[in-house]
Amino acid sequence: MPPAQKQAQAARLNPVWYHYACATVAAALVLGNLLRWAYLDAPDNYHCGAMLSTGKWLDEGTYKNWQPEGCYQAAIKAPALAKCLTSPSAVTPVTDGLSNRRVLFVGDSTVRQLYFAAVRQVDKGTDYPKSWESDGEKHSDRKAVITTKGGQQLTIEFWWDPYLNTTQTHDYLASRPETPAAMLVMGSGLWYLRNPSSGGATAFTKTIEDTFETLRAKQGSPLAPLLNPWDAMTTTGSNWLPGLMPDSTGAGVSAGGHDFALADAVFFVPVANPVVEKLSAERAETIVPADVEMMNAEVATRLAQSNPPPIIVPSVFNELLVDEETSDGLHFSDRIMDKQAELLYSWRCNDVLRKEVSEGACCRRYTTLRPLQALLLLYLGVWAPISCLIAPRLRPGHPLLAVIPADKVAKAISSFGLAIAYLYLADRTTIFLKEQKDWDPKIFSALMIAALIAGLATVKNKGKDLGFLNRDITDEWKGWMQIAILIYHFFGASKISGIYNPIRVMVAAYLFMTGYGHFFFYFKKADYGFNRIAQVLVRLNLLSVVLPYTMNTDYAFYYFAPLVSWWYMIIYGTMFLGSKYNDKPAFLLTKLVVCAGAITAFMHQTWMMEGLFSFLNTVFRIQWSAKEWSFRVTLDLYIVWGGMLAAYAFIKFNELRIAERPFFPALRTGAIVASVLGLIWYMWFQLSRKDKFEYNGYHAAVSCIPILSFVVLRNASALLRTCTSQLFCFVGQISLETFILQFHGWLAADTKAVLLVLPATRWRPVNLVVSSIAFGWLSYKVSGATGDITSWAVGKKKPALPPPVTQGEPIFDAGQENIPLMEPAKDENGNAVNGSANASAAYAAPEKSWRDSTVMSVLGNIGVLAQTHDSVKLGLVLLVLWVANWLY
């Protein structure tokens, strides 16, 4: 080879360079976020401080979606709020007999507005409608009493005290109430500026100095500014691995002491920044922005001292203010005030309400690792990759080889384990940031169009007609649908009925292909053996079974794999029942109708499903919601049967050679026209429904129309069947993994939020690109690993060893191929003895009493059976899962 050619060849990129590039991106993301977590976010890993100090509106003009920097924030439902505010927090000094509690607001008109918003958040207009706010005198005390579902009484009070100098306020701050308030919210400042005769900013400074000193004496004197709702007065912020190893630091540290005697938390509201252009002439003379800034700086300075007051200042309140949301320059709209109240409540309650608040929410510690969860994470994320590296270096017979996966599956388990570890770090620690979703129709549409263009740009002509609904077309179909579903989930578009409804059709299309493909296989192959069932179910469910134990969720949470598995078993049972008569159309069609009717009746009798799930919970500790599962199944109750009938129709179409009949061109034209009309009718129908809830009632019956219309149009000509998009095919081949991994590796907080692999809200567009690269590569690797593990676990077996020559009939089955052949029996002169009986005796195991058997020998025999019998292997796996459910 000429030197120039050799040099050119050496300069070529590695053909799998993109794998290395994606792996480098994923590794860099983990390392970079680890460094950010360790150094930049160390003081505030749970973003409690960030929630009350930084953020931005994601939906300017609507002002409903406020994004704190680096964490996911969502409003707490009213019943849960009432439950929280009548329950002790981590620092409540009195935990016994807490049945009735109160939330106290003290201050001026801006605090009164916050008070009204706080009542709205808990009551939702049930007992205190909007008109209640305008009842009574303007400058007076107010009280709202709310009864919780548990019978406790929550009193939310407001004391009119614009100067924080009334006797009522002084007496309360100087007292030690029997039951501390759940929250004490104070605020002042504007009245000092509005009435210079009060002493102005100087008097304000004196007031907060006296107030803070009183609070130190009665509430406690913290060593550092209070940041988290679980911080004790002695907390200095030096927790071990905060946000990485879930902990309960601070829980109960003050129980029985004198700290937090006044309230679980004392908030001091900053003076609101005025909108000067909207102030009245009288107010504009005395309320000057510079004075407001000086007042807020005075409070911030005292928090920075070595002996800070025991208060939390939600400085973010002024960032929430929007000029167009005020009419007088001082008081802002309900949606601004509602958001302020929401943030205060979230700071106080997110950690208390761990079961009601999503993982990854601001100021909520992650659930403590369970022992079994930790062991599984260590095995998959640490031991599996390490063992894959050290196994080749160990001598044969080394003791560690007994706990190292077999060579042929070691790399697959290693890849699978590293992916699980990545998901855990991403969605169960504060190493990666999370933020809420934001619906933006322009960006949503732009991404959909960009995906379509990318798919069309990679269309390739295979050069021959691959047949109706061939593998490439179904992969392509799965691919573009999966991309659409991912974009839909990223933007949280489920609230938009006109988008939700077509996405539901896409999920139904997956089930249509399930019915089509499995019917085709069982009708043509008639292979009802265990190995086929095991391969399908293991491949479908491996990821969905492991994730619940590592992410502390449940199997039904990853609903797609359970749903497809459910329908696969129904298809299998239907086809197996009377399978020898499946070639008779009358029998087969009748069977399909009867089975469809039976499943429909079963799914509509919810008591039967509830009884089944109750049994599963009692015996296997499987806690699934019968209501949720019934909703998932009944939503697409008929489309699987439609897929099976479509497969049978295509089989008969070929048998009857319809394509060769003279009327076929007219039939094809009619089908194309009907399909176009079907798609148009469906779009009109779904858009004309009032909302998605009304549409759901029709979906099971109408989803077959757009699906069958697409099938006809996509396969309408040989050219269309020849061309497929390589991008969509690639995504379609890993669609199962992308659908499941998105829960924790692309989205966050169990799909409720967006995962930020790059910090800072302003980088969200770049984050989307980089995160998608890592997510796509991860899905690809997990798909390959899952396939390899499935092949190893329930793959094809080697043929049995041939029987010995002295044996008349084979005595070994295919599962005993690893048992070594024994020497033939010999007589006393050493000559071989012929005869099947003697040969059988030679193979027979020596007689051994069960008393002589050891536990290890029994386990060893089970191990041999597991290696040679898939049914034993999977039975042991199910046994282990059953035990794990009870131990978890």
Known catalytic residues are: 109, 328, 331
First CA to last CA across the chain, in angstroms? 63
* Own/partner long-range contacts of 491-494 (Cβ < 8 Å, ≥24 apart): 491/437, 491/438, 491/439, 491/440, 491/443, 491/444, 492/437, 492/438, 492/439, 493/439, 493/444, 494/692
- β-bridge partners, 101: 154
Phi, psi of 623 (to 5 degrees): -105, 90
- Element counts in the chain: helices (H) and strands (E): 35, 12
CB 513 within 8 Å of CB 478: yes
Angle made by CA atoms 841, 842, 843, in degrees to the nearest 5:
90
Q: CA 87 → CA 91, 96, 148, 257, 652, distances in Å? A: 11, 10, 11, 18, 67
Only one residue has tokens 């149009």, namely 713
For 432, the 3-state DSSP assignment is coil
Cβ neighbors of 831 (< 8 A, separation 6 or more) are none
| Element of type H or E holding 320 | helix 316-320
Query: 371: burial class by Cβ within 10 Å (0-12, 13-18, 19+)?
Result: exposed
* Own/partner long-range contacts of 401-410 (Cβ < 8 Å, ≥24 apart): 406/792, 408/788, 408/792, 409/788, 409/789, 409/792, 410/384
CB 157 within 8 Å of CB 143: yes
Query: 182: burial class by Cβ within 10 Å (0-12, 13-18, 19+)?
Result: buried
For 407, the 3-state DSSP assignment is helix
For 436, the 3-state DSSP assignment is strand
For 469, the 3-state DSSP assignment is coil
CB 799 within 8 Å of CB 814: yes
d(CA 873, CA 863): 8
- β-bridge partners, 268: 186
For 238, the 3-state DSSP assignment is coil
d(CA 670, CA 664): 10
DSSP state of 832: B
CB 429 within 8 Å of CB 366: yes
For 69, the 3-state DSSP assignment is coil
Closest CA to 173 of 135, 145, 212: 212
